[in-house]
Amino acid sequence: MPAPGRFKYKQLGSYARLRSEDVAVWNQFITETPHSEWRVDYDVKVGLGRIPKKELEDKYKKDWRDLTRKRIDVVAWGENHVYIIELKPRASLAAVGQALGYSELWQDLHDEGRRVLPVVLSFYTDPDTDVFAKAAGVAIWTVKKSFRR
């Protein structure tokens, strides 16, 4: 991976592989929450990917693994923390599991001496998801949904 935080913490014209509903959550977060010291990366690959089938030609095996690796929506680099951020319009048990899993996979590949904090960033959450997230050590951050005409 290149140097931490290839991008400034600001809204961009486009984001690698983020769905439009996830971009809406992220852009609203940037609007509401200034973090001028943060640098960020998008679509960050973690994990090993799936083992390619034996019949696949050798020249394609690396591509297969690369394409099947897990992808973190946003990695935000603070001075002492790395935030592993899963973007969803609505927080869910599945999103909490993704954030937790990505954080574990991140730690398997990286050791920058920063504390790794898994986060689900969304417009909405619910009490059940909040209880599960707290027990799992995953933060849920919510932003106000912006209704534009």
pLDDT at residue 145, rounded to an integer? 85
Tokens of 39: 């640098």
User: Which parts of the chain sit beneath pLDDT 50?
Assistant: 1-2, 149
pLDDT at residue 68, rounded to an integer? 84
> What is the reported pTM?
0.88
pLDDT at residue 149, rounded to an integer? 40
